[in-house]
Amino acid sequence: MRYHESLLSLVGNTPLVRLSKCAEGVEGLLLAKVEYFNPGGSVKDRIALRMVEAAEREGLLRPGGTIVEPTSGNTGVGLAIVAQAKGYRCVFVCPDKVSEDKRNVLKAYGAEVVVCPTAVPPDHPDSYYSVSDRLVKEIEGAWKPDQYSNVNNPLSHYEQTGPEIWEQTEGRITHFVAGIGTGGTITGVGRYLKEVSGGRVQVIGADPEGSVYSGGTGRPYLVEGVGEDFWPTTFDRSVCDRIIAISDHESFELTRRLAREEALLVGGSSGMAVAAALRVGREAGPDAVIVVLLPDGGRGYLSKVFNDSWLLNYGFLRTEGPQTVGEVLR
Ligand code: PMP
């Protein structure tokens, strides 16, 4: 019989899929690493598994323990799946800009969710970072993975995601493009690809306009899961050859096109990464092999980027004249 003992052995080994209709103007090969194939639906399953197993080895997490983490949803799902398989309780702290759909997913897995305001600085007592610190102190047996400082976050990508991409492209990858949130993905994958290729592979970060990584002030933007108003230790800037700032508008336009033209129903940070990959691809020659990582699926965003009234509300939709599918976004 062929079966998996649990979902945990299904984490990783996601496919590369060629982007064709969305890749106009790109002479080389544009390949998407589609992370929604992970059992929890996002790239974060990878770091969740590695962070929990390392904490168990180091005695930080013991039987009956509680995992407390500030998370925008995906890391929570990954941690909830790993916690369920291993018998831990989960308490997640989210900023209020995270969609209700995503919070309900966490609750469906049996986790508890605490919601905090987005528009306060990280050191404010109500910020989701501060609240999670307080909960760790108050709950007995609590452990905070802290994806923003945990070395196992970039390490999971250095040891697994990076080698997967190298093998899948038979070492022919020339450019790697990913959005930057904690920076774990780009740091781990980028470092591995730089090392294995002798520095040949170009590593390009994609960042929402307004985020500090691309020189912004930390002002709010709408794309979820990427960009920051501080520099976490999981992000090694020196791995990136370049960081490209992408507007919410362009991120959402590409996100809608990926669903409509490539049948890839993915989140806004995937659209953002593809927008950056297109810029890279249009500058590169016919021999380029560009891999862009798509962090999660789009079902958690049906009431946002895939909802016309929501886009209209933020001024991203044309309001005058007839709208054909291709014209929906201005
Ligand atoms: N996209 C989404 C939807 C995410 O949840 C995250 C993680 N915060 C990222 C992109 C960025 O990945 P990383 O944290 O590895 O930089």
| Best CA proximity match to 36, nearest among 257, 269, 302, 295 | 295
User: How much is the pLDDT for 320?
Assistant: 54
Residue 327 or 52, more confident: 52
Is there a contact between 69 and 146 (Cβ–Cβ < 8 Å)? Answer: yes
- Residue 80 neighbours by CB under 8 Å, 6+ apart: 40, 90, 92, 106, 109, 110, 111
Asked if the model's pLDDT at residue 42 lies above 60, the reply is yes
Is there a contact between 276 and 177 (Cβ–Cβ < 8 Å)? Answer: yes
pLDDT tens-digit map of 135-193: 999 999 999 999 999 999 999 999 999 999 999 999 999 999 999 999 999 999 999 99
User: How much is the pLDDT for 149?
Assistant: 96
User: How much is the pLDDT for 3?
Assistant: 97
Asked if the model's pLDDT at residue 244 lies above 80, the reply is yes
Is there a contact between 221 and 252 (Cβ–Cβ < 8 Å)? Answer: no
Asked if the model's pLDDT at residue 96 lies above 60, the reply is yes
- Kindly provide the ipTM of the predicted complex, given to two decimals: 0.98
- Residue 271 neighbours by CB under 8 Å, 6+ apart: 223, 250, 251, 252, 253, 254, 255, 256, 257, 258, 305
| Best CA proximity match to 215, nearest among 243, 248, 182 | 243
CA dist 109 and 104 (Å) reads 9
- The CA–CA distances, whole Å, from 62 to 56, 68, 112, 319 equal 7, 14, 19, 56
Amino acid at 249: H
> What is the residue-wise DSSP string for 105-127?
HHHHTT-EEEEE-SSS-TTSTTS
Q: How far is the CA of 322 from the centre of ligand 1 (A)?
A: 36
Nearest CA to ligand 1 atom 5: 225
Among the ranges 9-18, 107-116, 228-237, 294-303, which has the highest mean pLDDT value? 9-18
CA dist 83 and 112 (Å) reads 12
**Other Cβ atoms closer than 10 A to 294:** 30
Q: How far is the CA of 138 from the centre of ligand 1 (A)?
A: 28
Least confident piece of the model among 25-34, 89-98, 238-247, 287-296: 89-98
Confidence of residue 321 (pLDDT cuts 50, 70, 90): low
Amino acid at 91: V
Asked if the model's pLDDT at residue 327 lies above 60, the reply is no
Ligand 1, pocket residues at CB < 6 Å: 72, 74, 179-185, 224-226, 267, 269, 295-296
Asked if the model's pLDDT at residue 95 lies above 90, the reply is no
User: Which letter, b or e, does each residue of 85-124 get, where b requires 16 or more Cβ atoms within 10 Å of its Cβ?
Assistant: ebebbbbbbbbeebbeebbebbeebebebebbeeeeeeee
Asked if the model's pLDDT at residue 38 lies above 50, the reply is yes
Q: How far is the CA of 175 from the centre of ligand 1 (A)?
A: 19
Half-sphere CA count of 306, side-chain side, radius 13 A: 18
Confidence of residue 222 (pLDDT cuts 50, 70, 90): very high
Asked if the model's pLDDT at residue 328 lies above 60, the reply is no
User: How much is the pLDDT for 325?
Assistant: 47
H-run or E-run covering 246: strand 242-246
Nearest CA to ligand 1 atom 12: 181
Tell me what the mean pLDDT of segment 305-327 comes to: 74
| Best CA proximity match to 258, nearest among 206, 295, 225, 213 | 295
> What is the residue-wise DSSP string for 263-311?
---B-HHHHHHHHHHHHHHHHS-TT-EEEEEE-BBSGGGTTTTT-HHHH
Query: Of ligand 1's atoms, which has the minimum distance to the CA of residue 183?
Result: 16
Asked if the model's pLDDT at residue 329 lies above 70, the reply is no
Nearest CA to ligand 1 atom 11: 181
Nearest CA to ligand 1 atom 3: 225
Asked if the model's pLDDT at residue 217 lies above 80, the reply is yes
Q: State which of 102, 212, 226, 248 you would mutate to test the pocket of ligand 1, scoring each by most atoms of that ligand within 8 A of its C-beta.
A: 226
Active site (catalytic) residues: 44
CA dist 232 and 172 (Å) reads 31
Asked if the model's pLDDT at residue 72 lies above 70, the reply is no
